[in-house]
């Protein structure tokens, strides 16, 4: 003990300091460290839950994106089917219109051919009548004149001249 007194250490003060330190540690532990540790533990659990939720959200997002891709592919396929059906219907309608137009053109063409044929026959009949009238007139004129070789040549030339005019 002499050494302790030589160093200036008082046992009662040391004991009081030890008790003060124990009380301080108890108070700090009870009112500071424990609440801080509880807050830190709650925060750690909250962060961990947030990370788990973020992972679940990322997985859910990937699933949703995949579903959206599948829906988009299906929608494109359905759109292609609809477009093909519309194209087929348009082609059929176009073919119907073309066929109808061809039939109408054939009917009109046939009517015009008949008109042309009737006009041709009328013109030919008229031409035959005129030619036969001219031939008859020419023959009458030829026969009414005196018939000599020289006179025959002149009459024939005259008839040909009249026909050319």
Q: What pLDDT, in 10s, does the model give residues 20-50?
A: 999 999 998 888 888 889 999 999 999 999 9
Res 160 pLDDT > 90:
no
Higher pLDDT, 11 or 104: 104
The pLDDT, as a whole number, for residue 29 is 86
Instruction: Give the total number of structural domains in the chain.
Output: 1
When pLDDT is averaged across residues 80-96 and rounded to a whole number, the result is 95
> Which tokens in the block code for residue 44?
């750690």
Q: Distance between CA atoms of 56 and 43, rounded to whole angstroms? A: 19
Residue 73 belongs to what domain range?
Answer: 2-164
> Which tokens in the block code for residue 103?
């039939």
- The 8-class DSSP code of residue 94 comes to H
pLDDT grade, residue 142 (50/70/90)? low
Tokens 């039939």 appear where?
A: 103
Strand, coil or helix: 12 = helix
Separation of CA 137 from chain center: 80
Angle, alpha carbons 154-157-163 (nearest 5°): 140
> Which tokens in the block code for residue 84?
């093909």
């Amino acid at each position: 003990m002499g050494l302790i007194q030589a160093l200036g250490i008082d046992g009662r003060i040391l004991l009081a300091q030890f008790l003060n330190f124990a009380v301080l540690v108890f108070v700090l532990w009870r009112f500071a460290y424990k609440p801080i540790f509880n807050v830190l533990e709650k925060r750690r659990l909250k962060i961990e839950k947030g990370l788990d939720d973020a992972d679940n959200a990322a997985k859910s997002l990937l699933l949703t994106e995949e579903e959206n891709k599948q829906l988009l592919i299906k929608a494109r396929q359905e759109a292609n089917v609809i477009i093909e059906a519309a194209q087929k219907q348009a082609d059929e309608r176009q073919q119907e219109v073309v066929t109808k137009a061809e039939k109408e053109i054939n009917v009109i063409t046939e009517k015009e051919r008949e008109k042309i044929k009737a006009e041709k026959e009328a013109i030919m009949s008229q031409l035959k009548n005129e030619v036969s009238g001219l031939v008859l007139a020419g023959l009458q004129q030829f026969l009414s004149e005196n018939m000599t070789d020289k006179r025959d040549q002149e009459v024939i030339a005259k008839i040909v001249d009249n026909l050319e005019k």
